Chain A
Amino acid sequence: MNVTFAFDPEWLSVLTAPFMTNAIEAGLLIALAAGIMGYFTITRHSTFAAHALAHIGLPGATGAVLLGLPVSLGLGAFALGGALVIGALGKKVSEREIATGTVLAFATGLGLFFARLSSSASQQMQSILFGSILTITDGQIIGFAVFDVVLLAVLALVYRPLLFSSLDEQVARAKGVPISLMNVLFMAIMAGVITVAVPAVGTLLIFALVVTPAATASMVTRSPFAAIVVSCVLCLISIWGGLVLSAMFPTPPSFVIVTLSTLMWVVAKIVCGRKR
């Protein structure tokens, strides 16, 4: 077994290849979506729901391959369906988490079942589970860009009520913030973010891209807006850093992306722990 990381002297030419240009553009769009929503995911105590949504999307993704439809379409549809169900379950954590976890396990099993029904779906399985940022197409990038524009437009409209209801649901409800609407809206946007981020790192590693940079950002900042900006930057460092490093030392980009994200979190955790 050979686990040495061979340095690729041709890495600069790899970085300028067309598929890498697509990956770099996609990375920017994914970092924006994941960085913004990661902060809300943490303040809403919905990190498990975010993780589960990716898995709930799995049978949608493999099912889409089976039917000859785009992977993102199936993934998005299933994630959105799961998001609306979890959103309707409300914020009573104990009940919601058990229901979410049960659906997560069932969906993953169903995803495997669909994948085994055809050889093409079986081949796609690996890239759905672990991501394939180097195979992102021009069409996907347009889709990501449209999603980011919609996300920014919606957030410009609901930023404060969404933040208020995330931080302090009871007071926000008393003040007239439509809590149920915020809940469903958050979950729906989350489904979109998952759909956008899965091609980068896959359903299994998505936590490290959507939640971890936001957690790191929360540790080092003192306002929601600063946390969101830093979270996007950390997410971007993870993805772009992952692309560059995996070109220099040929490794799966997903691996390097989640490693960078995790390293930054560990460093922040140690530094902030020392301050206390």
Chain B
Amino acid sequence: MSETPVSPGTVAEHDAATDAVVLRNAEVRRGGRTIWSHGNLAIPAGTVTAIVGTNGAGKTTLLDAELGLVPLYAGSITVMGSPAGQNNGMIGYVPQSYIAGLDSNITARQSVILGLTGTRFGIHFVTREEKARAQQVLEFVGLADKADYRLNELSGGLRQRAAIAQALVGGPKLLLLDEPLANLDMASQRAVVELLARLNREWGMTIQVVAHDLNMLLPILTGAIYLLDGHPHYSPISSVLDSDLLTHLYGTRIEVVTTPQGDMFVTPDRTLEPKERDQNTHAAAEAARFHEHHHHIPPKENNR
């Protein structure tokens, strides 16, 4: 792009400045088994990335590795310019099971405040600034009116927003979410996706989302890390939307269809559908002929 020659050193500095997460030949093993290896990718800052792959492909392990919670067997992971695990104060993390606190009497507000003060040893009183900060993120996620409800009094969608608020309260630059849409109804999924879009747009937040179903996320994604054949790859979203790649990735036939709402993935499975259901779509003329067909068969049979 630039006409002046660029030295390798300058390239590295450039990476450090604009890439949120960089994997270089990274490999993770658990119990002697390689989860994934040869991870080479760079996620630019300010992007929204989906992490996709089949069950057990190591999606959550990738988040753990970025947090420095899993040791690397080989290679390196750099998060915001430092080795993984050293910048965790700049990472907001929303784990998969947001059932946290369900058996407790804690409210959404206290949960958020704990996100700010929970790592502190010794006696500390919550300051006015900390309370204001908690109120700010609760308002941002749309929980201001339910802030003093217990977590176990909130619906799944609102609990997910409370978990995101807890992750946001520390002012992270990178937000990692593990299956944030799982077990939510469509309206709640949509609300969470809209929230992520606003975070990315208004706060410039870099976001990574582990997801099984990309359809809800497609409108906001810049790219995807797909864990394919034991290796993490990064692709801009335009190349992810490829039927053959997705079919390969999920091990089941996936087609990409364009709808008025945008691109969507579908997984056609003829064997699961009832026999009497139409297996094909038809143009209006074809459908009319089909309709006619039904009416005309019996008389023919009678003629025989």
Q: Which residues of A contact B (CB under 8 A)?
A: 42-43, 45, 156-161, 163-164, 167-177, 218-219, 221-224, 227
Q: A156-B123, A160-B117, A161-B121 are in contact. Are A173 and B69 (CB under 8 A)?
A: yes
Partner of A224, one of B91, B110, B117, B148: B110
Task: Please name all residues of chain A whose beta carbon is closer than 8 Å to the beta carbon of B106 when the two chains form the complex.
Answer: 167, 223-224
Task: Please name all residues of chain B whose beta carbon is closer than 8 Å to the beta carbon of A227 when the two chains form the complex.
Answer: 105
A174 touches B88 (CB 8 A): yes
Q: Tell me which residues from 99 to 114 in chain B have a Cβ below 8 Å from any Cβ of chain A.
A: 100-101, 103-107, 110-111, 114
Whether B167 is near chain A, meaning CB under 8 Å from some CB there, is yes
Report the number of A-B residue pairs with Cβ-Cβ less than 8 Å.
90
A223 touches B107 (CB 8 A): yes
| The 9 residue pairs across chains A and B that have the minimum distance between CB atoms | A164-B118, A170-B95, A168-B100, A218-B105, A174-B93, A43-B104, A167-B101, A174-B67, A175-B119
Report Cα–Cα, A223/B106, bound state, in Å.
5
Report Cα–Cα, A173/B111, bound state, in Å.
15
Partner of B167, one of A156, A171, A173, A177: A171
Task: Please name all residues of chain B whose beta carbon is closer than 8 Å to the beta carbon of A223 when the two chains form the complex.
Answer: 105-107, 110
Could you list 19 examples of A-B contacts with CB < 8 Å?
Answer: A158-B121, A160-B121, A160-B124, A161-B119, A164-B119, A171-B166, A171-B167, A172-B119, A173-B69, A174-B69, A174-B93, A175-B88, A175-B118, A175-B170, A176-B88, A219-B105, A223-B110, A224-B105, A224-B106
A42 touches B115 (CB 8 A): no
Report Cα–Cα, A174/B110, bound state, in Å.
19
Task: Please name all residues of chain A whose beta carbon is closer than 8 Å to the beta carbon of B111 when the two chains form the complex.
Answer: 167-168
Task: Please name all residues of chain B whose beta carbon is closer than 8 Å to the beta carbon of A224 when the two chains form the complex.
Answer: 104-106, 110
Q: What's the least CB distance linking A153 to chain B, in Å?
A: 11
Q: What's the least CB distance linking A36 to chain B, in Å?
A: 15
A157 touches B121 (CB 8 A): yes
Whether B275 is near chain A, meaning CB under 8 Å from some CB there, is no
Closest Cβ neighbor of B95 among chain A residues: A170
Report Cα–Cα, A173/B118, bound state, in Å.
11
Report Cα–Cα, A177/B88, bound state, in Å.
11
Task: Please name all residues of chain B whose beta carbon is closer than 8 Å to the beta carbon of A160 when the two chains form the complex.
Answer: 114, 117-121, 124
Whether B122 is near chain A, meaning CB under 8 Å from some CB there, is yes
Task: Please name all residues of chain B whose beta carbon is closer than 8 Å to the beta carbon of A218 when the two chains form the complex.
Answer: 104-105
Whether B150 is near chain A, meaning CB under 8 Å from some CB there, is yes
Task: Please name all residues of chain B whose beta carbon is closer than 8 Å to the beta carbon of A167 when the two chains form the complex.
Answer: 100-101, 104, 106, 111, 114
Counting chain A CB atoms within 10 Å of each CB, the highest count among B89, B97, B103 belongs to B103
A168 touches B121 (CB 8 A): no
Q: Tell me which residues from 135 to 174 in chain B have a Cβ below 8 Å from any Cβ of chain A.
A: 148, 150, 166-167, 170
Closest Cβ neighbor of A218 among chain B residues: B105
B88 touches A171 (CB 8 A): no
Task: Please name all residues of chain A whose beta carbon is closer than 8 Å to the beta carbon of B103 when the two chains form the complex.
Answer: 42-43, 45
Task: Please name all residues of chain B whose beta carbon is closer than 8 Å to the beta carbon of A163 when the two chains form the complex.
Answer: 114, 118
Q: What's the least CB distance linking A151 to chain B, in Å?
A: 15
Given contacts A158-B121, A160-B124, A171-B94, 19 further A-B contacts (CB under 8 A): A42-B104, A43-B104, A160-B114, A163-B118, A164-B118, A167-B104, A168-B100, A172-B119, A174-B67, A174-B91, A174-B93, A175-B88, A175-B118, A176-B88, A219-B105, A221-B105, A222-B107, A224-B106, A227-B105
Report Cα–Cα, A172/B111, bound state, in Å.
12
Counting chain A CB atoms within 10 Å of each CB, the highest count among B103, B106, B118, B167 belongs to B118
Closest Cβ neighbor of A42 among chain B residues: B103
Contact with A along B186-217 (1 / 0, CB 8 A): 00000000000000000000000000000000
Task: Please name all residues of chain B whose beta carbon is closer than 8 Å to the beta carbon of A45 when the two chains form the complex.
Answer: 103
Task: Please name all residues of chain B whose beta carbon is closer than 8 Å to the beta carbon of A177 when the two chains form the complex.
Answer: 118-119
Task: Please name all residues of chain B whose beta carbon is closer than 8 Å to the beta carbon of A156 when the two chains form the complex.
Answer: 122-123
Task: Please name all residues of chain A whose beta carbon is closer than 8 Å to the beta carbon of B93 when the two chains form the complex.
Answer: 170-171, 174-175
Task: Please name all residues of chain A whose beta carbon is closer than 8 Å to the beta carbon of B122 when the two chains form the complex.
Answer: 156-157
Task: Please name all residues of chain B whose beta carbon is closer than 8 Å to the beta carbon of A170 when the two chains form the complex.
Answer: 93, 95, 97, 100
Report Cα–Cα, A255/B118, bound state, in Å.
39
Closest Cβ neighbor of B122 among chain A residues: A157
Report Cα–Cα, A163/B111, bound state, in Å.
10
Report Cα–Cα, A180/B114, bound state, in Å.
19
Task: Please name all residues of chain B whose beta carbon is closer than 8 Å to the beta carbon of A161 when the two chains form the complex.
Answer: 118-121
Report Cα–Cα, A156/B170, bound state, in Å.
23
Task: Please name all residues of chain B whose beta carbon is closer than 8 Å to the beta carbon of A168 when the two chains form the complex.
Answer: 95, 100-101, 111, 114, 118, 166
Task: Please name all residues of chain A whose beta carbon is closer than 8 Å to the beta carbon of B121 when the two chains form the complex.
Answer: 157-158, 160-161
Closest Cβ neighbor of B94 among chain A residues: A171
Closest Cβ neighbor of A43 among chain B residues: B104
Report Cα–Cα, A173/B114, bound state, in Å.
13
Q: What's the least CB distance linking A177 to chain B, in Å?
A: 6
Task: Please name all residues of chain B whose beta carbon is closer than 8 Å to the beta carbon of A159 when the two chains form the complex.
Answer: 123
Report Cα–Cα, A115/B100, bound state, in Å.
43
Report Cα–Cα, A200/B300, bound state, in Å.
92
Closest Cβ neighbor of A276 among chain B residues: B153
Partner of B95, one of A42, A164, A171, A221: A171
Closest Cβ neighbor of A156 among chain B residues: B123
Q: What's the least CB distance linking A223 to chain B, in Å?
A: 6
Counting chain A CB atoms within 10 Å of each CB, the highest count among B97, B107, B111, B121 belongs to B121
Closest Cβ neighbor of B178 among chain A residues: A170
Report Cα–Cα, A49/B97, bound state, in Å.
23
Report Cα–Cα, A82/B190, bound state, in Å.
48
